[in-house]
Amino acid sequence: MASTSYSNVRMFLVILLCSSAPYAEASEFQALETFKSGLANSEGIAEWGRKSSPCSWAGITCRNGSVVAVSLPHLGLQGTLASSLASLSNLAVLNLADNQLGGPVPSEYWTLEKLDTLDLSLNNLNGTLSSDIQNLKRLKNLNLAFNSFSGKLDPAISSCSGLQTLNLNSNQLTGKIPEQISQLSNLQVLDLGGNGFSGHIPLAIGNLSDLQVLDLSNNFLLGSIPLSVRQLKKLKALYISNNSITGPLPKTIGEMAALTDLRIGYNKISSSLPREIGKLTNLLSLEAPSCILKGPIPYELGNLRSLVKLDLSGNQFQSEIPSSFGKLQNLSFLFFSSAEINGTIPPALGNCRKLKAVILSFNDLSGALPDSLADLSESIISFSIEKNRIEGQVPAWLGKWQLSESILLAYNQFHGDIPPELGNCSSLTYLSLSHNQLSGSIPSELCNCKFLTQLDFENNNLTGSIQKTFENCEIPEELWSSDSLLQFSAAFNFLQGELPSKIGNLVLIQRLIIDNNRLQGRLPKEVGNLQNLLVLSLNHNKLSGDIPVELFKLSYLTSLDLGYNSLTGRIPDDIGELKELEYLVLAHNQLSGPLPKGITKGFQQSSIPDTSYLQHRGVFDISMNRFSGQIPEQLGNCTVIINLLLADNNFTGEIPASIFRLPNLVSVDISSNRLEGKIPNEVGDAKKLQGLMLANNIIEGGIPSEIGKLQQLVKLNLSRNELKGELPASIGNLRSLSDLDLSSNHLSGVIPPSLSKLSGIVSLHLQQNQLSGNLGELLTGSSWQQIGTLNLSLNMLDGDIPNNIAHLSYLTSLDLHNNRLSGTLTRYLSNLSQLQYLDISENLFYGPIPHELCNLGELRFLNLSSNLFRGEILDCINSKAKSFQNIGDLCEYSAKEHCKTRIRWTSYFIEMTLILILSLGTVLSILWLVLAFLKRRTLMMGGVKPILQNMGESGDNLLNSRVAMFKQTSLKLTFQDIVHITNNFSSSNVVGDGGSGTVYKGVLPTGQLVAIKKLGKARDQGNREFLAETEAIGRVKHENLIPLLGSCSFKDEKLLIYEFMANGSLEFWLWNKPGALEALDWNIRLKIAIGTARGLAYLHHGVVPPVVHRDVKPSNILLDHNFEPRIADFGLARILSVGETHVTTEIAGTFGYIAPEYSQSWRSTTKGDVYSFGVIMLEIITGKEPTGFEFKDVQGGNLVGWVRELVEKGKEVECLEVEVSDESKGMAQMLQLLHLGLHCTSEDPFMRPSMQRVVQCLECIIVNKGAMQVDQC
C-alpha cells in the first residue's frame, strides 16, 4: 500500500514538471514580446515571434528550455527599457549595449538574482543607481558606461561581492567615491573615469588585491595618491589624469611591478619623479604631461627597458635629460616639449635606434646637435627642437635621415649655410628652418626631395638671387603626376633679385608664398604656366611694372595678394578669367585707371573653391591706389564679397546701391575718394554690415533713416562730407554700435535723445556741425556706461554740464569746446577718474574752478580758456598741458597778495552788475565769434596735437594694466609683460591669423609657452563685460577644450591667453604636415575624433547655458604633444558679441563646414556644430578636403555630397583613404565612422544626433573594434 502511494506521488511530480516547462516558455514568450512591442525601433529583432519558442530567436540563449541570456548589442534599438524582462527569472546575461535606449533602469531589474552580466553601456539611460543593486549577489560584470546616470554612487554596491568588472565611465555621477567599494575583493576592473567625482581617492583602495585596471581619470578628485596603492601587485593600468591630484608621486609606486601603463597627466603633482619608478621594468607607457613636476629627472628612468613611450611635456624640470636614456632600447616616442629642459641634448640618445618621434620643442636646450643622432637614420620619422637655443651649423649628417618626414629646427640659433645634403632626405615632406641666423642661398639640391610639400625659411638672413634657387632644379617625374599639395613658403627673409622665368616649370605648385622679402623687378609672364596655382602671395616686396596678362590665365586661382608693392598700370580686362577668385588684395600700389568690368566676374562661386585660406575668403581690397572712374554697379553681383575696401583712390560718381544687397557683406570702406550724391536708402538692406566707412568724400543730402536697420553695425564713419539735415532718431536703434563719427559736416537740429540708448557706444564724434540741444537732456537716462571718448565741440549746445556726467566712469577724453554751454562747472567731473583730456574752452562757464579737479590724477591735457571763471587758478592738477589763457579774472596761488583788490573788484561786477555784463553782450559775442573762427583754423591746422604729444607720458602707467589670469593665480602679469614676451607683437611671433584675430607665441615668466590671441583693434569694447565674459569662459574645464589661461583689456587691445599646443592644428596634419600618414595612423585619427566629440558634447550638454561653437573646423582643433585634441575658440562668439568692434571678415562659421540651414536662418545651433563635426569626420576618413573641383559634378558640390553618392551606389569602400585603411580592423571602423559622419551631416538638422549620442557611438566603435554592423549607431 505504501509502495503504491509512493509511485503515485512520483508520477504526479513528473507530470507537474513536464507541464511547467511549456508554461515557463509561454510566459517568457510574452515577456520578450512585450519588450519588443515597447520599442520605437525594433528592426534589429524584427524576426522575433515568427517561431513559437523564444529559444530560437536571435540574441536569445536558453538552458533547459528557459531563457538565460538576452544579448542584443549594436542593433539600433530605440525606446525605453521594459520591466517585463524582469520576469525572466533565470536570466544570467542581459546585454543591450550600444543602442538608443533611454529613460531610467526599471527597479524590477534589481530583482534578477541570477544575473551574472549586465551591460547597458552606450545608451541614453538616465536616473540614479538604485540601492537595490545590492540584491544582485551573483553579479560579476556591470557595465553602464557612456550613459547619463547621475547622483552619487551608492555604497550598497559593495554587497555585490562577486563583482569582477565595474565600468561606470562617462556618466554624470558626482560626490565622493564610497570607501565601501574596497570591499569588492574580486574586482579586476574599476573604471569610474569621465564623471564628476570629487573628494579623495579612498584610502582602502589598496584592499582590491586582484585589481588589474584602475581608471579614475577626468574627474575632480583632490588630495594625494594614497600609499595603499602599493598593495595593488596585479595592477597593470593606472589612469588618474585630468584631476586635481596634489602631493608627491609615492616612492612605493616602484613596488607595483606589474604596471605596463601609467597615466598621471594634468594634475598638480608638484614634486620630482621618484627614483624608484625605475624599478617598473614592465612599463610600456609613462605619460605625465602638465603635472608641475620638478627636477631633476631621475637617472633611473634609463632602467625602464620595456618603455615604448615617454611623455613628460609641460612640466618644470629645470634640469637636463639624463644620459641614461640611451639605454632605452625600445623607446619609440619621446615627448619633452615645454618641460623647462636645459643643458644639451645627450649624445647617448643616438643609441635609441627605435626612436620614431623626438619632440623637444619649447625648452632651453643649448649647444650643438650631437653627431651621434645620425645613427637614428633607420627609425626617425619626426624630429622637432623648435624654440630652443641650439646653435652651430645645421649638420650635414641630417641627410642620412632618409626615412624622416619632418625636420623642425625653427626658432633656434643655427647659423651658416643650409647644407645641400638635406636634399638626400628622400622621404622629407616638411622642413622648417625659420627664425634662425642662416645665411647664404637656398640650395637647389632640396629639389631632390620629391615628396617635399612645405619649406619654411622665414626670418633668417638668406640672401642671393631667388633665380638661382631653381636654376638647376629639375622636378622629378613622379611629382609631375602627383596630386599632393606642393607649397613653397619663404616669407620674412631678405631674398632679393627678380622672380626667375624658370619658376614657370613648377607646374604642380599650388601655393607660392614669398611675402615680406626684397624681390624686385617685374612679375614674370611665365607665372601663367602654373596652371594648378591656388594661392599667389607676394605681399610687401618691391615688385614694379604692370601685372602680366598671363597671370589671369590661372583659372584655378582663388587667392591673389600683390599688395604693398610698386606695381603700376591698369588691371587688365583679362582678370575676368579668374572666375574662382575669392580673395583679391592689390592695396598700396600705384595702379591706376578705371576698374575693368571683368573684375566683377569672380567672387560669385556657388560652391567653395579648394583653398586653405578660408579665413580670408571674401576680401576685395584695392585701397591706396590711383584708380579712377565710377565704382561698377556689377559689384552687387559678387555675392562672395565680405570685405569691400576701396578707400584712398580717386573714384567719382555715386555710391552704387547694389553693393548693399550683397548677402555676406560685413565691411565697406570707400573713404577718401571723390564720391558725391547721396547715401543710398538701400544701405538698410545690408543686414550683416558691421563697418561702414564713407568719410572724406563729397557726399551730400541727409543721413537716411534706413541706417537704423543695421542691427549688427559696430563702426559708422561719415565724417568730412557735405551731409545736411537732422540726425535720424533711428540711429538710436544701433545697439551694437561702438564707434560713431559724423564730424565735419553740416548737420543741424537737436541731437536726438535716442542716441542715449547706444549702450555699446565707446567713441562718439559729432564735432564741427551745427547741432543744438542740452547736454543734460542727452545724459539723462543714458546707457553710455562704456563710453571712452566724447567730442561734441564746435556746435551750438547750451545749458550746463550736468552732475550725472559722473556716471561716464570710463571716459578718457571729453571735448566740449566752442559751444554755448554755461553755468558753474560741476565738481562731479572729478569722478571721471580715467579722464586724460578735458577741453571746455570757448564757452560761457562762470564761477570758481572746483578744487575737486585736483583729483583727476590721469589728466594730461586741460583747456579752460575763453570762459568767465573767477577765483584762483589751480596749480595742483597733474598736467603739463594746462591752458588758462583768457580764462577770466583769476589769480595763481602764488600771486594772491598782488591781486586781492582786483579780485574783489571783479567779483563785485560779476555778482552785482549783471545788467552791465549783458550790455556788453554784443561786444563779447563778436569777440567770441572771432575766437571761434580762429579756433576752427587752429583745429584744421593741427591744433589738437597737445594731447597726442602728451599721450606718451601716460604710457608707463597705462601699460601696467593687469592681465586677469584664470590659472596660476600667483602669477601677476601686465600688458607690458605681454608686449615683451611677444616681442612687441612681432610678426615673427605670429603662429596663426584668422577672422577673429591674430595669434602670437610667447613664453610666460614661469617658462610656460602660451598662445596669445589679439582680437584686433578693440578699443570700442566694454572692459567689464569683456573681462566678465572671458572669466566665465576661463572656468570651463574639460580635457578636450583648450584652456583659456587669462585675458587682458587695455585701451584698444583685447587679448586672450591660451595654453600652447605643441602639435599645432589638425588642419596642418591633414593637409600640410609632414609625417601625417605615419603619425596620424588610424588609432590617432580615431582618438582625435572621439576627443573632439567629447569636447563638443561638453559644450552642448555640460555647460549651462549650452555653448554653441559656431566655427568647428580642423584649424580650430589643436593637438597637444600626445595628439590629444583640444577645441579652440569655443566661447569666442560670446566674447566678441559682448563688444566686438573690429570688423570681422567671418560669418558664423567657415565655408565647407557650415550647415545648409544656416543660409536660411542665419542662426547658429548645436545641430550646426554637429554638421561641422560630421564634415571633419569625413575628412579624416577620406583624406579629402570639404570642397574642391573634384566634387563639382556631385550634388551639393562638396565632400558630403560625394560620399553620400558613393554610399548610395554601394561603393563606400572607395571613399576611404587607402594608406590608412590597409588593415581590416581599420577599414571596418572607418566604414562605421563614414556612416556616422553622413548621419551628422543630414540635410534635416532634426535627423542629426546630439554630440552626446555621437560620443556614445564612437565609444561603441572603439570598444567593439569594428565588429558591429555598419549603420547600427
Q: Coil, helix or strand for 1145?
A: coil
Name the pairing type of β-strands 590-593 and 626-630: parallel
Nearest to 1086 by CA among 1269, 1259, 1207: 1259
Cell of 558: 582663388
Q: CA–CA separation, 1179 vs 1150, rounded Å?
A: 15
Beta bridge partners, 93, equal 69, 117
The C-alpha cell that represents 937 in the structure block:
583754423
Nearest one of 629, 687, 636, 640 to 657, comparing CA atoms: 636
CA angle 364, 367, 371 (to 5 degrees): 125
Closest CA to 380 of 397, 359, 404: 404
The residue whose grid cell reads 536570466 is 91
> Crossing angle, helix 1224-1240 and helix 1082-1101, to 10 degrees?
30
Residues 767, 741 contacting (CB under 8 angstroms): no
Rounded to 5 degrees, φ, ψ at 1258 are -65, -40
Closest CA to 982 of 874, 1057, 872, 925: 1057
C-beta separation of 381 from 354 below 8 A: no
| Nearest in space to 1212 (alpha carbons), one of 1258, 1168, 1262, 1271 | 1271
To which H or E segment does residue 31 belong? helix 2-37
C-alpha neighbours within 13 Å on the C-beta side of residue 1066: 28
Task: Provide the 8-state DSSP code for 370.
Answer: P
To 5 degrees, how large is the angle CA 269–CA 274–CA 277?
110
- The grid coordinates of residue 685 equal 538692406
Residue 63's DSSP bridge partners are: 66
> Could you list the active site residues?
1111
Classify residue 113 by its DSSP letter. T
Residues 348, 292: Cα–Cα separation, whole Å: 26
964-965 vs 1044-1050, strand pairing mode: antiparallel
* Of the candidates 808, 707, 788, 699, the residue with the CA atom closest to the CA atom of residue 752: 707
Q: How many residues does the chain have?
A: 1273
Kindly give, in sequence order, each residue whose CB lies less than 8 Å from that of residue 1201, ignoring residues fewer than 6 positions away: 1191, 1194, 1195
Biggest CA-to-CA distance, the chain? 150
Residue 867 falls in which region: left (phi positive, over 0), alpha (psi -120 to 50) or beta: beta
Which residue, among 1194, 1174, 1139, 1148, has the nearest Cα to 1245 in the 3D structure? Answer: 1174
**Three-class SS of residue 451?**
coil
Strand pairing partners for 567? 545
The C-alpha R_g of the chain, in whole angstroms, comes to 37
- What residue ranges in 291-355 does DSSP mark as E strands? 309-311, 333-335
Instruction: Tell me the three state secondary structure of residue 375.
Output: helix
* Residue 880 counted as an annotated binding residue: no
Q: How far apart are CA 1118 and CA 1069, in angstroms?
A: 10
Instruction: Tell how strand 1117-1119 and strand 1125-1127 pair up.
Output: antiparallel
Q: Which of 811, 786, 791 is nearest to 1018 (CA)?
A: 786
3-state secondary structure of 533: coil
Q: Is the peptide bond before 296 cis (omega within 30 degrees of 0)?
A: yes
Residue numbers belonging to the annotated binding site for ATP: 1014
Residue numbers belonging to the annotated binding site: 1014
